[in-house]
Chain A
């Protein structure tokens, strides 16, 4: 009787575990089945390296290189702006923060994580974009405040709660003995934190950065409201110009596109590229992580 119960429960747990795997598998199948044929019809190379996106023109062209680069630039910018702030905040919260400030800071950061991205988008549109245009518009002959810079700053803010909470948890998880040992050997509090605890928490902090990258590259709503969405090929130093990201490209045209048209296929194919992107990033960081652990 007990054994039968155990078997049933084991099955239940197995099915629960299977559900998430199944979901991922289904998404993969859908994406590749719908996305690959149009990609082949356009030509994989033309699709990935083409710099013109004119889906509804008389002679349509589907090149997503500007969007691939756009995603890379904006995510890179967000990481440059957000990760240092996030990690330092995490160190402060875990090791240096007085209790009364912590009691205020922690809920504030949790609240930040709960703000819907469309609200961030509105903030970016009403505050960030006009401010950037006001400050830099004339000097750099900007089209508008909608720019890579605006998107990077906004995303830098949006990834903060993710980076902070994961990094903080991992810094707290470092055994106290390490810190005490460092202090006993004569290290100051700061030195012990930066030289002993932070390196010990390295893989966890890295995981925080990965999640940050994932959040940044997958963000759609807020980015499309401030990034400008031009499908022009940009260089990384043109951060006062607008770009379109892979995610924005999908959401911008999804609402109107005719099913089973090549345009629809090209949009799904954009999703495939995005998916592969995220796979590569995850793989890269897990390889990095393994290296660190092996050492």
Chain B
């Protein structure tokens, strides 16, 4: 009887805690509402950092940095850790999330957070840091001054590269019509001029990086519209799979969101269909606007753990 009573009291307390938690959270989401949810437009002109709402004064720089990272194997993570030099030493306490949107949501909801997303999926719920003073944008990515960037490659082996249909598709992807799609959410590396359909028919097998996949889906739809007799099958599997299968002729064209290694370059021809920047993002309340690439590395390896150790 007594234990039952204790259980019921505990339960009531828990229920109260829960509802209290929800109430405070509701208030908070109202605060965040001011920041707006509208996307910053397309990847060519993401909102520059200074356009963001002013950082709040009660940012406590003695607080711990909340580090958000992507899961092992993600293309964005691969690019990020290899360029910043984090390598295999990713901070163990970093929160692991599996999607760009989750990283963005988490950083937007936590004033002390830092994370990284693809430039194409940046919006003004979060603030993009300049790296070494360089604002991430299409221009700084093309001229190479923005360091954290990766190419979206399509690769073929020599046998497939001689195939007229493969050649035609690659010509389309690099043409003005194809690159139009590359510059929707990513950055175009320039185009080879107009494409005219050659009226070919057949089936193309394309596979590999899931990061390149959304772009490939756009290219596929546009290409099939111009060449109704061509059938294109797209499969996933990641950059590694795409490179392997393209080398062994299992597929016609491989997709990769990382640079080829030297041994892979010997076996494959590569074409850059787009460039993608990886942007380091913080909460809009955070006064920090710029970071050196070494600082980014120190944060993501867990060398620096509080905001007071970071000086702008």
Interface residues of A (CB under 8 A from B): 54-58, 81, 84-85, 88, 125-135, 137-138, 141-146, 153, 157, 194-195, 224-225, 228-232, 241-242, 244, 251-253, 255-259
Contact = CB atoms under 8 A, between A and B. Distances in A.
Contact of A56 (B4, B15, B72): B72
B289 to A, nearest CB: 22
9 contacts: A85-B11, A129-B110, A138-B60, A153-B18, A195-B1, A230-B95, A232-B93, A251-B98, A256-B210
Interface stretch (B24-32, B127-135, B155-163): B24-32
B106 A146 contact: yes
B95 A85 contact: no
Contact of A255 (B28, B73, B109): B73
Nearest to B241: A258
A84 B97 contact: no
Nearest to B244: A258
B106 A125 contact: yes
B89 to A, nearest CB: 9
A144 B106 contact: yes
B107 to A, nearest CB: 10
Nearest to A143: B93
Contact of A143 (B7, B60, B66, B109): B66
Nearest to B68: A144
B204 to A, nearest CB: 22
B98 A135 contact: no
Contacts of B43: none
Nearest to A133: B110
Interface string B177-218: 000000000000000000000000000000000100000000
In the complex, which of the residues B15, B74, B109 has the most CB atoms of chain A within 10 Å of its own CB atom? B109
A88 B8 contact: yes
B26 A54 contact: no
Contacts of A129: 106, 109-110
A230 B24 contact: no
A263 to B, nearest CB: 8
Contacts, number: 132
B65 to A, nearest CB: 9
A63 to B, nearest CB: 13
Contacts of B250: none
Given A144-B106, A253-B71, A229 B24 contact: no
A280 B207 CA distance: 41
The list of the 4 closest CB pairs from A to B, nearest first, reads A256-B73, A131-B25, A229-B96, A57-B88
A143 B88 contact: no
Nearest to A147: B95
Nearest to A191: B1
Given A131-B21, A194-B1, A230 B94 contact: yes
A242 B68 CA distance: 12
A127 B29 contact: yes
Contacts of B68: 144
A150 to B, nearest CB: 10
B240 interface: yes
Interface string B221-262: 000000000000000111011000000000000000000000
